[in-house]
Amino acid sequence: MNDNQEPVLVCKDLCISYYTRAGEIPAVVDFSLTVKPGETIGIVGESGCGKSTVAMAIMQYMGANGGIKSGGITFKGRDLTTLSEDQLRSIRGSEISMIYQEPFASLNPSLKIDTQLMEVPLAHENISKDEAYRRSVKMLTDVKLPDPERIMASYPHQLSGGQQQRVVIAMGLLSKPSLLLLDEPTTALDVTVEAGIVKLIGDISKTFGTSQIYISHNLGLILETCDRVFVMYSGEVVEEGTINSLFTWPKHPYTHGLFSCIPLPTADKNAAPLTPIRGQLPLPFERPSGCYFGPRCDHFERGLCDSAHFKMENVDGGAPDHRVRCLRYKNINHVKAQPGGTAKKTLKIGKSVLTVDRMKKYYEVKDTSLTALISGKRIRHVKANEELNFTAHESETVAIVGESGCGKSTFAKVLMGLETRTEGEIRHNGKNISKISVQDRSTKQIRSMQMVFQNPFDTLNPSHSIGGQISRVLRKFGVETDKKEIFDRVMTLLDTVKLPRDFYFRKPRQLSGGQKQRIGIARAFAGNPSIVIADEPVSALDVSVAAAVTELLMDIQRKHKTTLLFISHDLSVVRYLSDRIVVMYLGHILERGTANQIFAPPYHPYTEALLSAVPIADPEVTKRKIVLEGNLPSAMNPPKGCPFCTRCHRKLGDICDNELPAEQVVADRHVIKCHIPLEALKKVAPVIHVPDESERLQQQVAV
């Protein structure tokens, strides 16, 4: 990076609006940004704050109803807003390319990868097809895809999500662009796959000297990939600076807020509860006068913050390119950003409530292909759950973590009685419920075990009022029968989930995602259940909303002494809220233990890789990098030996391929399923290193 070099991209005072029937929506206002050669810029913010709009404006692809109102976008000295469609075409894909959030949707489903890759250089350069093919294969190798020839001959749907995203990245790099836009490139991917892609993205600028703009809502990922970061709020930048200065000394209250709503894998729920940002992102036409963040800011000062809109200014005494849009930043006492709510009391764990004993669930799928017909193997099994063992106690939060397809949701369905298990036993309060499907369960049984779903939309009836739907649940469970009593109960439930009482009369579509999820929680807790299963309850929500919903769930659980089974793929959240963790992979439990046991050695090799893949938004925390190679095997055709053997970085050899490892008991209720002897596993160094106070001081002295 050279400061004297001409910048690759300059956005100056950019205002972008969408024009809809309801009028003009000023999605982005006064956005300025400079990208130097080889630099990686991060743009972070909640959904709807205008990140994608900026990216699309740079590509000059605004759709039918979007347009740049004022300001300029200069790319290598040319103003992109004045170029003709033909001139733009020669820049798109060759000088600026883009990587998208959903790799599968971005690839044409009916064309082979080779066609889709080769057309990029063919469109921009005068080269032969052979040359284009050669380059495509080389680029696939460069993005670390094994067996590039096979990939070239595949259709997109024949590749895994991680492979697809690598193909899209290869496509973007094929004509050696000077600027690469990445719009949430890993949001749709699993953590360990994400880690691989993030590493690849980091290598790109080193290998190709490409400048990048990396858009994400995840501060941890920004920290790992970028040189400078822009924090956006409601269509404008509120703070910008180098990673180092902004992450160490964030100045804007919103930036602080973002840090306090993400759980760090080093903190837990009782010592340092999350502090969600109250309120919601204002819609573009509802922005307040003065500071847009005003209504949600704890440092708001009437008469000052709400009088007139104001510009970014350089941080006094900060790094030269650290700028902030806040009038009072100097008056705010900036303690180091940390999840910093007041500590809550630890709950006592009660008696055992749920026991799962050697539970198996196989799905049967009929194979109708001709080969199957000939070989006679018409019915194949998807081994969704293999021999699951574990227990959960009263007031305990047990997290089930694992990547997509590892069998988490199947397990939840079996517990709820929506599916019946193939073998084994599930006992709830001593009663065997494994064979009773949900239709045959008594109201009391159903009532005592409830579920919160990932997508609250799917479970709310759009045509009934919120109050009506909760009342129905109450009546069905026989909690109350009297009309008046039911009404009162609904009101208390609305209070419990911290929603205004007049939501009783609202319809689901009038609610935001976070509010819907609160209704989902209210419904689940309506019958005072003893167990609540929450299947990725916050993964579809924005960070600040997710933090609020998580806290709510914890509070209600504390009050009702509920056993919470929390299904998630996010280890930071899991570490934060759970007492015990179960790590699943391909239907097997590879490790289970208390949160502390899971987060400290001895680790199962897979747990170790998972921990290493968690993005951490704290520049002081260091991690040991472990990037898994290879793909998740299909559950239809799992490896014969250890389920993790195709990707394991500590694989011993043939024994791992051929024999399923036994459970090794480390301590009471801490179990690891691996062939490596415990002594060896205990010698493994911790993955995450948090400097303690003395180290921190030393570092500061060194700076």
Ligand X SMILES: Nc1ncnc2c1ncn2[C@@H]1O[C@H](COP(=O)(O)OP(=O)(O)O)[C@@H](O)[C@H]1O
Given the rule CB under 8 A, which residues bind another protein? 59, 61, 64, 85, 89-94, 97-98, 100, 102, 105-111, 115, 119-120, 123-124, 155, 157, 168, 171, 368-371, 373
Q: How far apart are CA 104 and CA 160, in angstroms?
A: 9
Find the DSSP H helices in 100-239: 103-106, 113-124, 129-142, 148-152, 161-173, 191-208, 219-225
Residue 402 binds to ligand SF4 (criterion: CB under 6 A)? no
Residue/partner pairs of 12-15 with CB below 8 Å, 24 or more apart: 12/71, 12/72, 12/73, 12/74, 13/70, 13/71, 13/72, 14/54, 14/57, 14/68, 14/70, 14/71, 14/72, 14/73, 15/68, 15/69, 15/70, 15/71
Q: How far apart are CA 596 and CA 579, in angstroms?
A: 8
Q: How far apart are CA 614 and CA 622, in angstroms?
A: 11
Residue 533 binds to ligand SF4 (criterion: CB under 6 A)? no
Residue 228 binds to ligand SF4 (criterion: CB under 6 A)? no
Which of ligand SF4, ligand X, another protein, none interacts with 53 (beta carbon under 5 to 8 A by kind)? ligand X
| Listed ranges 18-26, 202-210, 507-515, 589-597: which one lies at the site for ligand X (CB under 6 A) | 18-26
Give residues 443-482 in contact with ligand SF4 (rule: CB under 6 A).
none
Which residues lie closer than 8 Å to 390 by C-beta, 6 or more apart?
355, 356, 398, 582, 589, 592
Residue 307 binds to ligand X (criterion: CB under 6 A)? no
Are 550 and 369 within 8 A, CB to CB? no
Are 59 and 83 within 8 A, CB to CB? no
Which of Mg ion, ligand SF4, ligand X, none interacts with 642 (beta carbon under 5 to 8 A by kind)? ligand SF4
Residue 52 binds to Mg ion (criterion: CB under 5 A)? yes
Binder among 38, 42, 45, 641 for ligand X (CB under 6 A): 45
Which of another protein, ligand SF4, ligand X, none interacts with 493 (beta carbon under 5 to 8 A by kind)? none
Which of another protein, Mg ion, ligand X, none interacts with 373 (beta carbon under 5 to 8 A by kind)? another protein
**CA separation, residue 27 to residues 51, 60, 474, 645 (Å):** 9, 15, 42, 48
The greatest distance separating any two alpha carbons of the chain, rounded to the nearest whole angstrom, comes to 81
Give the other-Cβ count within 10 Å of 656's Cβ: 23
Residue 628 binds to ligand SF4 (criterion: CB under 6 A)? no
Binder among 9, 11, 33, 49 for ligand X (CB under 6 A): 49
Binding track, positions 111-130, relative to ligand X; x by CB under 6 A: --------------------
Residue 661 binds to ligand SF4 (criterion: CB under 6 A)? yes
Which of Mg ion, ligand SF4, another protein, none interacts with 4 (beta carbon under 5 to 8 A by kind)? none
Residue 186 binds to ligand X (criterion: CB under 6 A)? no
Residue number, 40 or 52, with CB nearest to Mg ion:
52
Using Cβ positions, the residue closest to Mg ion within the complex turns out to be 52
| Listed ranges 59-67, 292-300, 564-572, 573-581: which one lies at the site for ligand SF4 (CB under 6 A) | 292-300
| Listed ranges 155-163, 288-296, 536-544, 620-628: which one lies at the site for ligand SF4 (CB under 6 A) | 288-296
| Listed ranges 26-34, 46-54, 454-462, 612-620: which one lies at the site for Mg ion (CB under 5 A) | 46-54
Q: How far apart are CA 232 and CA 237, in angstroms?
A: 4
Using CA of residue 455, residue 458, residue 462, residue 464, what is the dihedral sign? negative
Rounded to 5 degrees, φ, ψ at 591 are -150, 145
Which of ligand X, another protein, ligand SF4, none interacts with 361 (beta carbon under 5 to 8 A by kind)? none
Task: Decide: helix, strand or coil at residue 613.
Answer: helix
Using CA of residue 438, residue 442, residue 446, residue 448, what is the dihedral sign? negative
Give residues 64-83 in contact with ligand X (rule: CB under 6 A).
65-66
Residue number, 43 or 151, with CB nearest to ligand X:
43
What residue has token string 């980091």? 202
Which of another protein, ligand SF4, Mg ion, none interacts with 52 (beta carbon under 5 to 8 A by kind)? Mg ion
Write down how long the chain is: 703
**Residue 577: both structure tokens together:** 């809220």
What residue has token string 């897979």? 606
Q: How far apart are CA 530 and CA 431, in angstroms?
A: 14
Find the DSSP H helices in 333-405: 370-375
Q: How far apart are CA 168 and CA 469, in angstroms?
A: 44
Distance in Å, CB of 657 to ligand SF4, minimum: 8
Give the other-Cβ count within 10 Å of 259's Cβ: 21
| Listed ranges 47-55, 304-312, 314-322, 626-634: which one lies at the site for ligand X (CB under 6 A) | 47-55
Binder among 2, 3, 63, 331 for ligand X (CB under 6 A): 63
Give residues 328-357 in contact with ligand X (rule: CB under 6 A).
none
Binder among 112, 299, 506, 670 for ligand SF4 (CB under 6 A): 299
Residue number, 188 or 359, with CB nearest to another protein:
188
**Residue 522: both structure tokens together:** 């209210």
Residue 648 binds to ligand SF4 (criterion: CB under 6 A)? yes
List residues binding Mg ion (CB under 5 A): 52
List residues binding ligand X (CB under 6 A): 18, 20, 25, 27, 45, 47-53, 63, 65-66, 284
List residues binding ligand SF4 (CB under 6 A): 253, 291, 293-294, 297, 299-300, 305, 326-328, 605, 642, 644-645, 648, 650-652, 656, 661, 674-676
